[in-house]
Structure formats: C-alpha cells, structure tokens
Structure 1
C-alpha cells in the first residue's frame, strides 16, 4: 500500500524517515523551517503526516497547522521529550489543538546514522486506536525497520523522553571511567526512575521494558552516535552546559527533558535522584565527581522495583 506522506522536520531523523518511506514506494514530501515556506502546503494532499521536529517546535506548529489539518489524516509523532511549559508530551500538545486527531507515536532504538547505513532496527507504534496503528504497521514496516504496536502512547513517549536523561548520566559515567559495574548499576536504577515517571503520567509500567524504554536506553546510553550520551561525556570533562551543547552541535532533548521532569517531580513528590544530579550538574551547582559522590552516599534502602501488573 502506497501512501502520500508529509514529513515535517527534515533534520537527521526526519530525513532518515523520509528516505526510508520513499524507498518503500511511498510518495513523500517534506518541510523544514530552513525552507522558510508555509508548512501547511505539504498537508493538502497528505494521507499521513509525520512530525519529526524537536519538541521545542511542536507547540507553535500545532497551533499553526490545526486550523488547516485535513480531516481524518493521522499524525505520526516522532518528537521526544516533555514540554517544560505544560509538562506534557508531544502527542498531548497536539491533542490540545486537535482533540479528535488520530495520533500514533513512533519510538524505539533509532540511531539515525545507523538506519542511513542500511542497518536494521525495530520500533513501536503506540496509539489509542489499534486499527490506525496496525494499518501504519503494515504500510511502513520494511526489511530495515520492523514495527510493533502497543496501546500505550503516553507510556511510550515518557519512556522515550526519560531515557535521554539516563543517556546523559551514562555519558558522565563513561567520561569519568567509572567502569562496567557502576554503569550497569546506574542504568538499572535509572529504569526505576523512568518507571516512576511513566506510571505517574498515566502510562503502563510494561512500556518501560519495551522498545521505547529499555530498548532505546540500551542504544542511547552506549553509543557515541547518541547526542545525549556525547553531552554527558562533555559534562564529565568539566564543560559547562552551554559549552557541552556547543560541542555536540545539535539538539540535546535530554537536557530540556531533565528540567521538565524535575518540575514534575516537585509537583508530585517523586524522588528521582539520578535526574536530580544530572540537573544539578547541568546547572553548574556540582561537579561530575560530586554528583557520583552524592548518588553513592545516599541512605541505604531496600531495592524498589517497577512492578508490571
């Protein structure tokens, strides 16, 4: 089945998806802010809209495009993070503008440069509408990108957002050469924090262990292809937040997500020690070594786990 697909946002991920879908025989048109044209132009004939901008661009685009959205056309949301203003996910920003919009979330271990090389990957399509997700699963799966479905868009988005914060922490850990034991311990405890946020936002704990959670975490916390991981490495070198961002030279969603998650934690009383130390390190309140000392010096307790009902 061939679809007319509009891809909005032609950065590394959007361009990769556009190429993947075109290679499958879909009719793909694209738009990016660099073009300076009206993004609604690509909507007029679209049967699917793929939103691949950074989260910071979603709010304004949702407000701009909502009045011109073609009736019945679903949105494939690929933006990861939590909005600092409304403390919500990308799909929730869209639904504020278009309550009846059929939204499908795409997330998983998707390092764009590997897919560009033709290497295989898997991802999940998460939606409240199983029929829409299943149609897109059949239409968009290929020998390079295998797609699964689930019914937990909020949990999938929360997992995809929080793993970026943990990838920053993993980069700090490796930058300090703390070893495999420390990194394994960090990521394991990071999963607990991710699970707390997923459930706190109304998602399902099981999504923590899926492609958007554990799968994406394993990729981004271990690869220099990950911008969040490289940002953590730079922080471990002693660079300031701004200098580390400049060194990465691209959007680091985990930095913004960390701020939003800490705001949510303050509102709901969540205890997120790894996120707290990443936030303090980015703010220049502590050094990377001090962050490690704080995590290791916390009071002893039982091992709390994320329970999947």
Structure 2
C-alpha cells in the first residue's frame, strides 16, 4: 500500500461495519464511530482523508450538524452510503452533504451489497459516483479488492436513487412472495418496478441508463430476492397477514423503504409522476388496503403500452 488513506466511518451498524472490514483488509487505517459509543467525534475525525456516512436516513442531518461544528479540511472526501430520502425536503443524502460542505467532493457508494454477505467475504460489486471523477477514483482504490469490485460512475444522483427507490419495490416483491403468487407475478412486478424507478429518476434529473447498472437493476435483483433484505422482510410479512406494527417490533435495523415510500408520494403529488406500485405500497403500509387489494388494484389498471416514461 503506497498511499494509505485514513478512513472514518460514521455509523457502526451492519453496513458501516461491513465497509470498515473491506477498507481494513486493504490496509487503510479505519476508525468506526457510533453515536452510542464513548469516543468523541472530534477525536475520531482527526487526520481523516475520507469520511464515510453509513447512518440511517433519520440520523443524517444530526451527524452533518456535528461534523460542521468541527474544523475540517476542504481536501476531505465525503462518502455517503445511506439509501433514503429526507421526508421534509425530499432531498437525497448526497444533496444534503453537498449543501453542508459545498467545497468538498461528495461521493455516493451504492450497489447490490447485502452487508451480511460482505462480512462473510462473499464476492460482490458496487458503484462509487461523483461529479468529481478524481474523488470517485480515490474511493474506488480504497475499497476495491478481489472480493469487492468497485466501479466508478459520473451520475451520482442516478446511483443514489437506484439504491433508494428499489427499497420500495423490494417491499412489493416481499408481499408477492408472502402471498405465494409465483414466479411469473414476481418477474412482472420487478420488471415494472424498474420501469417505475426509471420514470421517477428521469423526472428527478438522473440518467436513465444508470438504472440498468449495478446500483439500479443490480441492487433491485439482490434486494427483491433475499430474506436478508429488511425491506423484503417487511413486505413478506405483510403478505403473510402481519401488521406493520407487529413487523417493526421485531425488525432488526431500519427498513428505509417505508420512509422512502412516504417521501415519493409527496414527490408524486408535487410533480404529477405516475407511481402505481409505490402508491399501492404506500396504501398498504398506511393500513388503507390489504395485500390482496393492492394486487387487484395493480392488475386492474387501464391497459397501456409497455414503455411510456
């Protein structure tokens, strides 16, 4: 290692810990910070080259305010690995970080990365995206290994939205399996879910081709087919007849798709974007309809051409 980078990871949950393991294996000095830990943020951040945020969406603004209160260099690269949307502003995590630190490079890290599999050192790939190519390439080198392949991308918004929007579709996919609807139904749902993601992304300003890459289609396939996904688990148990309250009482970690669905409904009304799957997931999460009723609503929609963004 000719140029080790000092990496600080904010958030000691499963995802933050998995990324810490990857960077440590590459011989980079890594410090992991938790809001519940004893070490101060100031002490942890001293000398950092890269600050990676892996906190849940609800904790992003609080962590940013704490970092802002400390002296920091404009050379520091901020990396966000949070998959969610801000309920008040509908902003993505990278937009919030960039607004807080306008002179620092911000990189998005997202892909089909179930943290438990990363910890087990199973092969995986991810994407790091930034408007500043050199910053993405630095982060790429820090995390790339023979077990973790990292690609760069120049569309940070698209990469970020892919990882965020697929959580809503993963809830729907879980419902599909919970109802035991079969492979045909799930294939149709996931495919139409990708179409919905692209439609939303285009309205948001992302590049449509980004959603057919690792951070879009790749993450969608991983999350919609794995019991390790918390969003899939929420949907599966809803399909089995449990209430959302019952599910969340026993869920370990955060299912970001629940909050994302609510934000997307706000965005849908503001910009008049058609989000039929998201709408049914929202109504299901709100307790307005049953899983079966949500299915019927989707199947009985007006017939239309396949592609109409």
TM range (shorter): over 0.9
| 1:51 to 2:53 alignment | yes
Pair 305,41 (structure 1): closer, same or farther in 2 beyond 3 Å = farther
- For 1:40 and 1:229, locate their aligned partners in 2 and report how far apart those are by CA, in whole Å: 37
Unaligned 5+ segments in structure 2 are none
3-state SS of paired residue (2:259): helix
> How big is the shift at 1:37?
4.3
- For 1:238 and 1:227, locate their aligned partners in 2 and report how far apart those are by CA, in whole Å: 17
- For 1:98 and 1:4, locate their aligned partners in 2 and report how far apart those are by CA, in whole Å: 19
> How big is the shift at 1:139?
2.8
> How big is the shift at 1:38?
2.9
8 Å CA contact 2:155–2:206 kept in 1: the answer is yes
Q: What is aligned with 2:12? A: 10
> How big is the shift at 1:198?
1.0
> How big is the shift at 1:135?
2.2
Q: What is aligned with 2:85? A: 82
> How big is the shift at 1:147?
0.4
8 Å CA contact 1:44–1:70 kept in 2: the answer is no
- For 2:135 and 2:100, locate their aligned partners in 1 and report how far apart those are by CA, in whole Å: 20
| 1:181-232: CA deviation from partner (whole Å, max 9, x where unpaired) | 1001001110111011111111111111011100000000000011110110
1:39 counterpart (38, 41, 45): 41
| 1:256 to 2:289 alignment | no
What are the equivalent positions in structure 2 for 1:1-309 lying under 5 Å apart? Answer: 1-68=3-70, 69-304=72-307
> How big is the shift at 1:249?
2.5
Paired residue total? 306
8 Å CA contact 2:173–2:232 kept in 1: the answer is yes
3-state SS of paired residue (2:187): helix
- For 1:239 and 1:210, locate their aligned partners in 2 and report how far apart those are by CA, in whole Å: 34
- For 2:154 and 2:297, locate their aligned partners in 1 and report how far apart those are by CA, in whole Å: 38
Q: Which stretch shifts more, 116-125 or 235-244?
A: 235-244
Runs of 4+ in 1 over 6 A off after TM superposition: none
The two structures have a TM-score, normalised by structure 1, of 0.96
Unaligned 5+ segments in structure 1 are none
- For 2:205 and 2:191, locate their aligned partners in 1 and report how far apart those are by CA, in whole Å: 22
The two structures have a TM-score, normalised by structure 2, of 0.96
RMSD across aligned positions (CA): 1.2
| 1:148-170: CA deviation from partner (whole Å, max 9, x where unpaired) | 00111111111110000000000
8 Å CA contact 2:74–2:103 kept in 1: the answer is no
8 Å CA contact 2:265–2:279 kept in 1: the answer is yes
Q: Which stretch shifts more, 36-45 or 160-169?
A: 36-45
3-state SS of paired residue (2:36): helix
> How big is the shift at 1:36?
4.9
> How big is the shift at 1:60?
1.2
- For 2:113 and 2:252, locate their aligned partners in 1 and report how far apart those are by CA, in whole Å: 19
Q: Which stretch shifts more, 64-73 or 138-147?
A: 64-73
| 1:16-49: CA deviation from partner (whole Å, max 9, x where unpaired) | 1111111110101111112154323211111111
